Structure 1
Amino acid sequence: MTFLRGKYRKFIIRFWILASLFIGGIVFYITAVYFNFFWLFGGMPDLKAIENPQSQVASEIISADGQTLSKYFIENRTPIEFDQLSPNVIKALIATEDARFVRHSGIDPRSMFRVLKGVASSEQGTTGGGSTITQQLAKNLFQTRSEKYKGTLGDLPIIKTVIAKTKEWILSVRLERNYTKQEIMMMYLNTVSFGNNADGIKTASKTYFKKEPWNLDLPEAALLVGMLQNPSRYNPRIFKERALERRNVVLGQMMKYGFLTQEEFLRTKVKPLALNFNIENHNTGPAPYFRETLRDWMKEWLAAYNKENGTDYDLYTDGLRIYTTIDSRMQSYAEQAAEEHMKDQQTKFFNHFKALKMDPWVVKGKGGGYAPDPGFEKRAVRRSWRYRELKRMYGDDETKIWAELRRPIKMKVFSWRGDRDTIMSPLDSIKYYNKFLRIGMVSMDPRNGDVKAWVGGINFKHFKYDQVKQGKRQPGSTFKPFVYCSAIDLNFVTPCDPIVDRQVCIGDWCPKNSTGSYSGQPLTLRQALAKSVNSISVHLMKLVRPKAVVAYAHKLGITSTIPEEVTICLGTPNVSVFEMVNSYCTFVNSGKHVDPRFVTRITLKDGRVLADFPPNEKEVISPSIAYQMLFIMRGAVEDPWGTAQRLRTQYKLADNNDIAAKTGTTSDYTDGWFMGMTPNLVTGVWVGGEDNHVHFTNMAYGQGARIAMPAWGLYMQKVYADPDLAGNERSPYRRDRFIKPDGMEANIGCGGVKIDTVNTYLRPKVTDDESILF
């Protein structure tokens, strides 16, 4: 017995020595990793980083009615709270990724063997299949395998993975001490990637099912959790059978751990994937042109804010919440109206030039007819991005550049029936895209300058140029109200003064009416503007002079440079739809110009307000002058000779509703405009080609009342049909009457005599096809 005790005593001593050395070695190793001895292991996140873990969070663009329009992101991530998770997600995640999640403290000893086994095959940065949820969170949050935490041993294949695993174990224990299990699960689901540009469970729910995460049913939750093992391999869009099989594995795990009965498992596993896929990127979603303008504005604003306050907020990673004035419903109606109208116009445009047997880039010949524009091809090519790229490659070697432009290649091109694959040379694609008419349409609330809808083109993916704010074109007759307003406000005329329709010359400039003739009859300003008679505008310009007209245009809201030339009375300066609509808002807002506004508030992701943007207005003309201008422009809709009378007769928009409007068409039908005002909404529409020589060749198709006004009519019909927007007396965009200043009559008086809204001077009622060109 003494011999045995002595023998076992030596064994026990040796065991404890070896055990102590082993444990001591582990402690020493962990300490060495933690403190990065001799810079061998790389750094560790500090205590502050553990207590305040950071992940890239997308900034959200929020509409005035509380909808998320889109996001700005590097990683498309929107965090949620634990109570916003569906129980199905929680059960599926625990059953599949970490069955002992609620029992362990960051490291599960029972799965250690699987972890170590996984380490041996994890050179490419996988978790080895045995990591706990907390370990995976540590890896996702702190990027332990990145260059930032790489030490001298970080280049050794197996060693670097062991070191990274050790750091994740250490971080897991510290995370468990700092956070509850619910917080850990919440952070995990907010940081993981689900592929297809979807980071975090909320974005994944939206991307794959168009649902909020709290509404995910059992098969949907199982599919998303199953994707976590390898989002690319189990991408349900590409590998449907593989994703379905993986989903059913998750369901099997849920049954294994008691989250499902066998009956529920068998019933659920036969269900289809039922995807409702909608990937988020800058080309998709509502208001893409507006979002690009907002992006540029936010970058500029953030740069100034950070400089002034010593902060470093980032638009793409700090989860800002940008509250905009855009109404998601009105934006949708504007996009629908623009699409419906432009499809119709494009069909007419193609048929028009098919009948003429020529391409739609034309110039007027000496005989008055139209002929193909010989300079169009080179002009269109030289302003294309492809030409600029080839220019960088080949310099001044035009032979090589044009050879490349004529080389057929595979490409996907836009069509109104959807994108189509084709083989086409870059030169042919440039000409193809120039055959499409473009649109710019923006809608503002005149009471506060809030932008409610913004359509900058026909398709943002293929036509990036924004025709609302970037594009500037001649406004034609829609500029005439600035001339009329200056003449009335400066007391040169009153709305009821008769002015004879006859040719007027200013120096050598003697413009004609669109018909080429003059009635020789006296017209009131309302009659003249309703018919858009050029001679009356020229007469007023002769009275007030260009300098005064420019001054009034600027104070009403035009920001572009306007030349002080007499020709501007017929709409020759280049302006944007955005500034034209803002200027017209001044008439509706009782003479007060209000700065256009598309952001009301910016907050951090925790709700703290960075900035508020209240409306800013200033009276620039009196309420009486503003109302007189509205009365004059109501003639376009209300009077039988008005260029916009179809809004009353065809679209039925003037019933119990005041509408003031102005159509505009520039020379050769290059630009078609329509400006429409109601008491609570001002909307402008421009339609034309990218190149000035791409246009219709006759008034029947090319005038503003035909090419632009219907989009306005369709849009307003949709707005008025929405009960929340216009359903009752309290609705913000209901049918209504313009605000009349105290002491003024509905019809503007002059010397006690009201303007007669029945034209006793003009010839009988005309059709829209006889509307003024300029």
Structure 2
Amino acid sequence: MKLMKIQFRKKWLLYSIGLIGFFFLGVLIFIIMVYSGVWGKLPSTDDLKELKQAQATLVYDAEEKLIGKYFVFDRMPIAYEELPQHLIDALIATEDVRFYDHSGVDYFSLGRVLVKSILLQNESSGGGSTVSIQLAKNLFGRKNYGVLSMPVNKVKEAIIARRMERIYSKEEIITLYFNTVPFSDNTYGIESASRKFFNTTTKKLTLAQSATLIGSLKASHTFNPRLFPERSTIRRNVVLQQMVKYDLLSDSLAKLTSNEVLEIDYQRFDHDHGLSPYFREQVRTQALLLIEDLQKPNGDKYDLYMDGLRIHTTLDATMQEYAEIAMHKHMMSLQRVFEGSYGKYAPWIRNESLIRSKIKDLPLYKRLKKNGLHEKQILDSLEYKSDRKLFRWEGDTLLNASVIDSLKHYMKFLNTGFVALDPQSGAVKAYIGGIDYESFKYDHVVQSKRQVGSTFKPFVYTAAIESGMLPCTYFSPEQVTYSAYDGWTPTNSTVDSLDSIYDYSLKYALSRSLNTIAVKVLMETGIDTVITQARKMGIKSPLPQVPSLALGTAEMTLLELTTAYTSYVNRGIPATPYFIERITDKFGNELWSYPKPTNQSEAFSDETRQVMIEMLKATVNEGTASRLRSRYGIMNEIAGKTGTTQDNKDGWFVAITPKLVMASWTGNDDHRIGFRNTAIGQGANSALPMIGLFLQQLNKNVVYNSVTRARFILPSEDVALSLQCEDMQPKSFLEQLFGIDNPEKPKKKRKGFFSIFSSDD
């Protein structure tokens, strides 16, 4: 019996040894198979020496401040010297405490994983991943091989890790790891994570911030500091304790840091959010065209989203911030007044024909119609309610709403555009294309063309002065019916019947935006002459050859209009707006730079320029834009012009200072929805406040003293003398009695016309 037991034990021992031997032989064969490429070719040593990872293209403002990125993977590489020691220590203590002792693979841990994965088929076996192995995973990803996915991928990563350890130093491995490791919110690399979650660079990370980011590596969603701050704090403290455990941090400092409240300063660098999204979209569009013909040293084309380019723009991030604050404050208030003025009779509530036409314009409606659905079926589908995120000024909200509910919701919103240009260079310094890029992609600076109202009048007066008309020429404000143009009669809203006993100077007529006189000046100067003048000032949009042109019935973009106004402070030359200063590769080598315009022609004489500046200053000092002084306290040297179009559909304001030209527009995207009354919709109320609020902030910042305290050059003695006349003068007795022109005044050419009427502003 005893002999039988001994024999049984020997057999069992031999069987066990054979089984173990068979297992290790199987493992060896399995490793050889992976090594030989049965499950795909492994990267060679040469491949690993030439590691190339997709890098985000970085967008900077004029002061080298990062304002955005274009990327497939949000990654910003940095050097080893930029990694704080406490960040490295946190990684080692948490992820690979024997990092400096092994050659890329922790064999004991890897063996444990292989046993669990192959014998026990436990996909959650975990462990065994050194920093080098994790780097291999970050660089080459994982593929699906069915039930063998985990062991195949683990062995591949181990082989790659060993190869990398033979090529790169430990410091280089650490650097590669930090530049490729994925953090929360689809963020790749420590520099991108530092900027996104804490609005700082890696070099400036605090101990608490470093521990927070390292802690999130265990599960980037579970320990996302933005979504789960409490959970992230607990994980951060675990990292700190690991550092204490391995003598990489003192217990006292760990306790002190553990008591810190987790504070993130989240920065969105995705396309829809962050600073200046409309500007960044313009830059992206232009950059794609600029790099199209550029080639890398090897002849390949550059990829905007993967080659880590550096785009240096004209934007001033601080000005942009001020502009966005001003826009938000003004438009939220204006929206409230706008909706209140309509009350329960709002067109987005009561105007069924308007709502129905908007529904039929929906892409979804057209698609369902094309698929053969009947009208009732389509409407039933569009009435189906589900959770939708809707824009509100108080903050986006999630509501149970249908497509039609959403349509009505967005119909009511006023939109806006704002731009600030350096008039000497044309550099775009601040740019707002709309109230919210995520909800309203349409850019109201370069895409939207609207009637410009009275902001066109300065071009009429410029043409008149340039043609020889004296600033002290007087015109009657009386209405004239232009019979040749269907009996059209322009009117004024600011001059009553008693004023018919006076004639007004050009300066007064422009500053008060008198429609009747603007038309008379246009007719006397000549429509073609005015159009030619506008073209010289940079206006490229179609200009109707009718007298209504004087009242701004032409449609153009906000940027186009602003460009023309720059000529008043740029030696009579319209500046060419531009967005990008230069583009470099990731090493700093310049690939493209903005070619400064040369041989530009003056649009008008310097004498005309001086006269127009003085007349436009009067608009701000005493005319339609005077609330810039009275309500907003703007005492800067400034000239400008307000504008309002027919039925209060559009409000405009253009402001000119010696160093900055600004323009703003407000209105509803649907031309059928206007402001309820002129008091709300006039440019002085709907558009001017945005610039007033912007300048208030700019004036408080001493950094911009050179801009805000700049003064216009005094007009020459001859120009000053030409402007020395009364704003108004009484008509002669015959003129008052019979409406006969004073024979000493130049005869006015009068022609009637038919056109849409643009109210004076």
Aligned mate of 1:713, from 692, 714, 718: 692
Q: Output one character per residue of 1:516-546: Cα deviation in whole Å (capped at 9) or x when no partner.
A: 8664433222111111111222123223433
**1:17-56 to 2 correspondences below 5 Å:** 36=37, 40-56=38-54
**1:303-314 to 2 correspondences below 5 Å:** 303-305=292-294, 310-314=299-303
What corresponds to 2:5 in structure 1? none
Q: Distance in 2 between matches of 1:629 and 1:308?
A: 52
Q: Output one character per residue of 1:361-387: Cα deviation in whole Å (capped at 9) or x when no partner.
A: 69xxxxxxxxx6553112322334543
What corresponds to 1:246 in structure 2? 235
Given that 2:416 and 2:665 are in contact with CA atoms closer than 8 Å, whether structure 1 keeps it comes out as yes
**1:78-97 to 2 correspondences below 5 Å:** 78-97=76-95
Change over 3 Å in CA distance of 1:709–1:264 after alignment to 2: closer
**1:340-359 to 2 correspondences below 5 Å:** 340-354=329-343, 357-359=344-346
Aligned mate of 2:278, from 289, 308, 325: 289
Aligned mate of 2:322, from 329, 333, 341: 333
Q: CA deviation at 1:278?
A: 4.2
Q: Distance in 2 between matches of 1:231 and 1:594?
A: 49
Q: Distance in 2 between matches of 1:297 and 1:543?
A: 42
Q: Distance in 2 between matches of 1:388 and 1:644?
A: 45
What corresponds to 1:375 in structure 2? 353
Give the partner amino acid of 1:188.
Answer: Y
Aligned mate of 1:573, from 537, 549, 554: 554
**TM-score (ref. length: structure 2):** 0.86
Give the partner amino acid of 1:585.
Answer: T
What corresponds to 1:689 in structure 2? 668
What corresponds to 1:11 in structure 2? none
Given that 2:514 and 2:760 are in contact with CA atoms closer than 8 Å, whether structure 1 keeps it comes out as no
Aligned mate of 1:174, from 152, 163, 182: 163
Given that 1:545 and 1:566 are in contact with CA atoms closer than 8 Å, whether structure 2 keeps it comes out as no
Q: CA deviation at 1:476?
A: 0.3
Q: Distance in 1 between matches of 2:240 and 2:629?
A: 61
Given that 2:625 and 2:640 are in contact with CA atoms closer than 8 Å, whether structure 1 keeps it comes out as yes
What corresponds to 1:773 in structure 2? 760
What corresponds to 1:620 in structure 2? 602
Q: CA deviation at 1:239?
A: 4.4
Q: Distance in 1 between matches of 2:249 and 2:235?
A: 17
| Secondary structure in structure 2 of the residue aligned to 1:303 | coil
What corresponds to 2:245 in structure 1? 256
Q: CA deviation at 1:112?
A: 3.8
Query: More deviation in 111-120 or 571-580?
Result: 111-120
What corresponds to 1:12 in structure 2? none
Q: Distance in 2 between matches of 1:574 and 1:123?
A: 70
**1:628-667 to 2 correspondences below 5 Å:** 628-638=611-621, 640=622, 642-654=623-635, 657-667=636-646
Change over 3 Å in CA distance of 1:427–1:23 after alignment to 2: closer
| Secondary structure in structure 1 of the residue aligned to 2:439 | coil
| Secondary structure in structure 1 of the residue aligned to 2:578 | coil
Q: Output one character per residue of 1:739-758: Cα deviation in whole Å (capped at 9) or x when no partner.
A: 357xx2385433xxx43365
Q: CA deviation at 1:579?
A: 0.9
Q: Distance in 1 between matches of 2:196 and 2:228?
A: 16
Give the partner amino acid of 1:457.
Answer: G
Give the partner amino acid of 1:54.
Answer: K
Give the partner amino acid of 2:492.
Answer: S
What corresponds to 1:723 in structure 2? 702
Q: CA deviation at 1:607?
A: 0.9
Given that 2:138 and 2:182 are in contact with CA atoms closer than 8 Å, whether structure 1 keeps it comes out as no
| Secondary structure in structure 2 of the residue aligned to 1:173 | helix
Change over 3 Å in CA distance of 1:631–1:231 after alignment to 2: same
Q: CA deviation at 1:632?
A: 1.9
Change over 3 Å in CA distance of 1:746–1:130 after alignment to 2: farther
Give the partner amino acid of 1:434.
Answer: M
Q: Distance in 2 between matches of 1:264 and 1:121?
A: 44
Q: Output one character per residue of 1:532-563: Cα deviation in whole Å (capped at 9) or x when no partner.
A: 11122212322343333333223312232333
**TM-score (ref. length: structure 1):** 0.84
Given that 1:470 and 1:576 are in contact with CA atoms closer than 8 Å, whether structure 2 keeps it comes out as yes
Q: Distance in 1 between matches of 2:695 and 2:548?
A: 33
Change over 3 Å in CA distance of 1:205–1:308 after alignment to 2: closer
Q: CA deviation at 1:336?
A: 0.8
> Quick check: 1:100 aligned with 2:83?
no
Q: CA deviation at 1:68?
A: 1.0
Given that 1:122 and 1:161 are in contact with CA atoms closer than 8 Å, whether structure 2 keeps it comes out as no
Q: Distance in 1 between matches of 2:156 and 2:280?
A: 41
What corresponds to 2:580 in structure 1? 599
What corresponds to 1:151 in structure 2? none
Q: Distance in 1 between matches of 2:219 and 2:125?
A: 11
Change over 3 Å in CA distance of 1:712–1:264 after alignment to 2: closer
Given that 1:503 and 1:510 are in contact with CA atoms closer than 8 Å, whether structure 2 keeps it comes out as no
What corresponds to 1:749 in structure 2? 721
Q: Output one character per residue of 1:177-209: Cα deviation in whole Å (capped at 9) or x when no partner.
A: 332222211110111111212211122223333
Q: Output one character per residue of 1:406-463: Cα deviation in whole Å (capped at 9) or x when no partner.
A: 3333322222211223233322321222212111111111010011111122222222
Q: CA deviation at 1:126?
A: 8.3
What corresponds to 1:582 in structure 2? 563
Q: Distance in 1 between matches of 2:726 and 2:51?
A: 70
Aligned mate of 1:677, from 635, 648, 656: 656
**1:265-664 to 2 correspondences below 5 Å:** 265-305=254-294, 310-354=299-343, 357-360=344-347, 373=351, 375-391=353-369, 394-395=371-372, 397-491=374-468, 493-506=469-482, 507-508=484-485, 509-515=487-493, 519-520=499-500, 521-616=502-597, 618-621=600-603, 622-638=605-621, 640=622, 642-654=623-635, 657-664=636-643
Given that 2:314 and 2:580 are in contact with CA atoms closer than 8 Å, whether structure 1 keeps it comes out as yes
Q: Distance in 2 between matches of 1:48 and 1:609?
A: 29
User: Identity over aligned residues, as a percent?
Assistant: 38
Q: CA deviation at 1:306?
A: 5.3
Query: More deviation in 445-454 or 342-351?
Result: 342-351
**1:170-249 to 2 correspondences below 5 Å:** 170-240=159-229, 242-249=231-238
Give the partner amino acid of 2:510.
Answer: L
| Secondary structure in structure 1 of the residue aligned to 2:398 | strand
Q: Unmatched 5+ residue regions in structure 2? A: 1-20, 732-757
Change over 3 Å in CA distance of 1:304–1:559 after alignment to 2: farther
Given that 1:483 and 1:540 are in contact with CA atoms closer than 8 Å, whether structure 2 keeps it comes out as yes
Change over 3 Å in CA distance of 1:542–1:206 after alignment to 2: same
Q: Output one character per residue of 1:316-354: Cα deviation in whole Å (capped at 9) or x when no partner.
A: 111111111110110011111111111221221122122
Q: CA deviation at 1:565?
A: 3.0
Change over 3 Å in CA distance of 1:120–1:240 after alignment to 2: farther
Change over 3 Å in CA distance of 1:684–1:268 after alignment to 2: closer
Query: More deviation in 563-572 or 383-392?
Result: 383-392
| Secondary structure in structure 1 of the residue aligned to 2:643 | strand
Q: Unmatched 5+ residue regions in structure 1? A: 1-19, 147-153, 363-371, 763-770
Give the partner amino acid of 1:234.
Answer: F
Give the partner amino acid of 1:69.
Answer: I
Give the partner amino acid of 1:387.
Answer: Y
Q: Distance in 2 between matches of 1:619 and 1:634?
A: 25
Q: Output one character per residue of 1:668-701: Cα deviation in whole Å (capped at 9) or x when no partner.
A: 1111111110101111111111212222232222
Give the partner amino acid of 1:314.
Answer: D
Q: Distance in 2 between matches of 1:450 and 1:758?
A: 37
Q: CA deviation at 1:61?
A: 1.3
Q: Output one character per residue of 1:16-50: Cα deviation in whole Å (capped at 9) or x when no partner.
A: xxxx99999999987775564xxx34223345532
Aligned mate of 2:114, from 101, 116, 127: 116
Change over 3 Å in CA distance of 1:425–1:569 after alignment to 2: same
Q: CA deviation at 1:56?
A: 1.8
Q: Distance in 1 between matches of 2:278 and 2:392?
A: 19
